[in-house]
């Protein structure tokens, strides 16, 4: 009878577990390589070509990137995208948190209110755009009608370069704030009741419980919400496309809208790929900054 070797037995169990894990993960990695990593690498290569919809293109190295530096519309789109992020980000993060606190209270009709807050998020972006174009219409829109009752207006929401982005922000907040609310609601369900009761026994009021117990406990949730909000905001496209098309006078032109027009209307695919590479780098840098800043606080 062979003596029992604990090290070899452990190694066999480990290899067997790895084999089964890799087998289960293999379909995901295949899809990831084909539809995520592969297109990203191909996009980097295409950005080095002068390419349209006909022919194999001409290799031009970094000339598309040099052209990007002198492209006024690119800088306008970058500025508008960051402006949109600054307007939307705080509202959907803080607003989602406050709504979650409200909907977490034992109030009558709470289930209906939760459904009403989250319902807009399941609507297609084209429907959201059409709906808010009607609401924000300057002459017959319902919002201007109620503002008129208060003696305000009319406001040319989507036809004035000074208010068009604000109109898109209003529509976006209405559409997406329910998502962050649900995430925060799930986080609030995990706050131990014992911690809140212990704080109340120590004399903490509602505000102190909120700032010293609930908010610190929700740091991992806040980390997720902030990171996804930054990424989604930098990729804004559908609302802009359906509500303003980037106008008026490029006041709502964003990076994704710019690369879409360049690639699929002007058929300058190489330069469009260059814009997408820069957008990818911007998202990567900002996500890394958010990740590094919030990870310290979470730990």
Helix (H) or strand (E) holding 50: strand 49-50
Residue written as token pair 């503002």 = 147
The DSSP bridge partners found for residue 50 are 58
Distance CA 199, CA 202 (A): 5
- Could you say which DSSP state residue 297 is in? H
Q: How many helices (H) and strands (E) does the chain have?
A: 15, 2
CA dihedral of 116, 171, 290, 40, whole degrees rounded to 10: 110
- The neighbouring-strand residues paired with 58 are 50
The arithmetic mean of pLDDT across residues 170-192, rounded, is 92
The percent of residues in the chain predicted with pLDDT above 70, rounded, is 93
More confident residue, 55 or 172: 172
Q: Which of 89-93, 114-118, 203-207 has the highest mean pLDDT?
A: 89-93
Structure tokens at 258: 């710019």
Q: Using 50, 70 and 90 to split pLDDT, how confident is the model at 152?
A: confident
């Amino acid at each position: 009878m062979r003596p029992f070797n604990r090290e070899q037995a452990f190694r066999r169990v480990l290899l067997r577990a790895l084999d089964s894990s890799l087998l289960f993960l293999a379909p995901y990695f295949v899809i990831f390589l084909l539809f995520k990593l592969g297109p990203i690498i191909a996009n980097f290569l295409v950005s080095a070509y002068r390419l349209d919809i006909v022919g194999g293109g001409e290799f031009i190295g970094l000339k598309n990137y040099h052209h990007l530096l002198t492209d006024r519309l690119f800088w306008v789109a970058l500025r508008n995208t960051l402006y949109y992020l600054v307007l939307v980000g705080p509202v959907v993060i803080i607003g989602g948190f406050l709504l979650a606190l409200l909907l977490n209270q034992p109030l009558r009709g709470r289930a209906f209110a939760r459904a009403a807050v989250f319902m807009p998020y399941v609507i297609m972006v084209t429907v959201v755009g059409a709906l808010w174009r009607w609401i924000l219409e300057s002459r017959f829109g319902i919002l201007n009608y109620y503002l008129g009752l208060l003696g305000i207006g009319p406001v040319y929401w989507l036809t004035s370069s000074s208010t068009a982005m604000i109109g898109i922000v209003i529509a976006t907040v209405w559409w997406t704030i329910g998502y962050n609310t649900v995430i925060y609601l799930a986080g609030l369900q995990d706050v131990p009741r014992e911690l809140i009761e212990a704080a109340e026994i120590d004399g903490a009021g509602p505000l102190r419980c909120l700032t010293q117990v609930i908010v610190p406990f929700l740091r991992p949730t806040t980390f997720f919400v902030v990171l996804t909000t930054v990424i989604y905001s930098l990729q804004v496209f559908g609302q802009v496309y359906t509500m303003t098309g980037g106008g008026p006078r490029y006041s709502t032109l964003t990076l994704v809208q710019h690369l879409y027009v360049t690639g699929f209307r002007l058929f300058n695919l190489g330069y469009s790929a260059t814009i997408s590479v820069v957008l990818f780098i911007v998202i990567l840098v900002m996500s890394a900054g958010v990740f590094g800043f919030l990870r310290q606080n979470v730990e």
